[in-house]
A = this chain, B = another copy of it.
Amino acid sequence: MIGVGILGAANIANKNILGITLADNVQVVAVGSRDKAKAEAQLERCGLAGAVAAYGSYDEVVGDPRVDAVYITLPAALHLPWVRKAAAAGKHVLVEKPVAVDGVELDAMLAACADAGVQLMDGTMWSHSPRTERMAAILRDPAAVGELKAVTSAFTFYGKQIAAGAGDFLKNDVRVKKDCDPLGALGDLGWYCVRGILWAYGFEAPTSVTAHAGAAFNEEGVPLHIGATLLFSGGRRGHFECGFDRALTQSLEVAGTLGTIQLNDFVIPRSVKQSSFVVTGEHGLRDCDTWDATRRDEVVVHLAKPQEVCMWERFGGLVQHIQSGGQPDAFWPRITELTQRVLFAVERSAREGCREVRLSL
């Protein structure tokens, strides 16, 4: 069993503690917060009080010899020092998204993990869902949706709703604070949209990114809602919109010449037992038709385990592989880097009048 130490007591940690607990090859061995009482309260909430070490510092977690890997839930602006310390201590790293606040910090984290030979992975759960694998298989079938042309994604929620009982989200949440998560909605929500677009195109890098008009920033300059078009070779496109300004949507559509894949719960599935998506097929719609009989097949995927458990089992397996003499899997830090660099380009385009930002990745 791989021992995981958790840095921080963010809400997302609750979900991951459950995910780790349900996974076959990992276990929580320590939780650290700057306030020991918070760490203890979190273990209490998860039914692990007494069974797992509660620390009043992150250093103690990193230093615990039972900790093989750390899970960093801290705001993005605090990631770098703890990724560095963890890597230096030979600990593998699963870090929440967004991973970095700028390119310099991203490079430093990637280098720290590569130099130390530890696995780096970001906390994008849907990447690990069996549904995602099923969709990928369909995209690989040239007779299904055909040649890909456009991927469209949106992830939004209304900040004030989330904040019920917690004050004004748009003023107080860590995700709109420049010194915590300066990418705001782009880092918190756009991360998934960009990852979805990149995933559909097999993690090919876009050639350029152009923000859509109308992005909004708060007084601290943090993006509250923002969108962009990503251009890929051969005229293929990705379009996304994200924001804290409107009701929950979480959609992904991959459109090819022959059909599409569509789902409206791509980040957080509507059920933990099974997930579905729709595959639309070739149509014969003519101008004179009064209804659209395009084929729409719902594909239902049974989920033996929730996607967060799948993520932790995959991460645990990579760590076990390294402990047995193998090398870190370069795929995961590569897609972390690509996702993050596209986000930086989107932010830059939006701040610079929606100009086209060329990428060389």
Contacts and interface: CB of A to CB of B under 8 A. Distances in A.
A289 B268 contact: yes
A212 B210 contact: yes
A157 B145 CA distance: 13
A162 B284 CA distance: 7
A356 B212 CA distance: 10
A50 B118 CA distance: 83
B290 A146 contact: no
Interface stretch (A32-40, A105-113, A248-256): A248-256
A290 B284 CA distance: 39
Contacts of A85: none
A181 interface: no
Given A212-B229, A214-B229, A292 B280 contact: no
Interface in A289-317: 289-294, 306, 308
Contacts of A18: 290
Contacts of A156: 150, 255
A145 B281 CA distance: 31
B290 A241 contact: no
Interface string A226-251: 01010100010101010101111110
Nearest to A291: B272
Copies in the complex: 2
Interface stretch (A8-16, A52-60, A61-69): A8-16
Contact of A255 (B246, B253, B259, B271): B246
A154 interface: yes
A160 to B, nearest CB: 7
A115 interface: no
A270 interface: yes
Among A18, A212, A243, A293, the one with the most B-chain Cβ atoms within 10 Å of its Cβ is: A212
A203 interface: no
A137 interface: no
Interface residues of A, number: 74
Contacts of A116: none
A213 B356 contact: yes
A109 B257 CA distance: 37
B213 A208 contact: yes
A247 B213 contact: no
Nearest to A45: B288
Contact of A269 (B164, B237, B288, B291): B291
A349 to B, nearest CB: 9
Contacts of A290: 15, 18, 268, 272, 306, 308
B292 A250 contact: yes
A216 to B, nearest CB: 6
Given A150-B225, A247-B260, 18 more contacts: A10-B287, A11-B286, A15-B287, A146-B158, A146-B247, A149-B243, A149-B246, A150-B246, A156-B255, A157-B285, A161-B284, A162-B285, A239-B241, A249-B253, A249-B280, A268-B290, A271-B291, A290-B306
